Amino acid sequence: MLREMGIPLWVPEAATAPAESEAAVAPGASSRAEPGAVAVPAQQKRAAAAATATPAGPLRSEASPAARARRAEESAPTARLPGLAPADWLVVAEPLDENDPQQQQLLDNMLRAIGVALVAPDRERRAVFCALAAGKATPATRAIDQAALQTAIATVAPRCLLAFGKAGAAALLGDDAPLGGLRGRVHAHAGGPVVVTFSLAFLLRHPAEKAKAWADLCLAVGSLAAA
């Protein structure tokens, strides 16, 4: 899970021997046809290959519906922000920068590290992204944010809320305090736990802080379990 967030691991991993991919060649073998060799018709070659090939159909059909849904989720495009739907998690943050695809990738990796995703078959593994108004905070944008949050919370009914960055924290908690004073503890909003972490843009500029963000995610998982 830490690899998903790009956090380096210091635990040594067991070295795995590379698989041998070169086939043994018999002594004296040659790629050229020997004089007097009998040519095998192409139809016989295809028939022999078909007889020895392992059918793939039955193996695919044995996969459970849950496994197929997970494969479809993992192979889905990363650039996605679905609409509102019931989910255990609600992410509140500034809009993603369309010119920086790493923000979307980091968000996906952080959610995947705790076992959830923006596209998931059930609400327990689903997270919904609620984007705040772009630009400098003003009374007008704050009113827009509060209206969007009320709609999102009423529709999603989240069991845990993640506030990314100072903007997310201010929108949920109404507190403009520095993140250092808001991180590391569980807050409350609309009867649900709120955990504050760094913004995606900040984490991309300061990758060394991802370890602290991971601690924030663990705190959020623990608060959801307690709830």
Give the tens place of pLDDT for each residue, 87-108: 999 999 999 998 999 999 999 9
Q: Which domains does the chain have, with CATH numbers?
A: 70-226 (3.40.470.10)
Cα R_g (the chain), whole angstroms: 26
d(CA 83, CA 117): 13
Contacts for 214 with CB less than 8 Å, ≥ 6 apart: 2, 5, 7, 113
Contact 170, 133 (CB under 8 A): no
Q: What is the model's pLDDT at position 176?
A: 83
φ and ψ of 187, to 5 deg: -100, -175
Q: What is the model's pLDDT at position 170?
A: 94
Enter the tokens of residue 221.
């998982």
| pLDDT above 90 coverage of the chain, percent | 55
Q: What is the model's pLDDT at position 51?
A: 41
Q: What is the model's pLDDT at position 137?
A: 85
For 169-225, the pLDDT digits (tens) are: 999 999 888 999 999 999 999 889 999 999 999 999 999 999 999 999 999 999 998
Q: In the chain, count of helices (H) and strands (E)?
A: 9, 5
Length of the chain: 227
Query: Would you give the distance in Å from CA 73 to the centre of its chain?
Result: 10
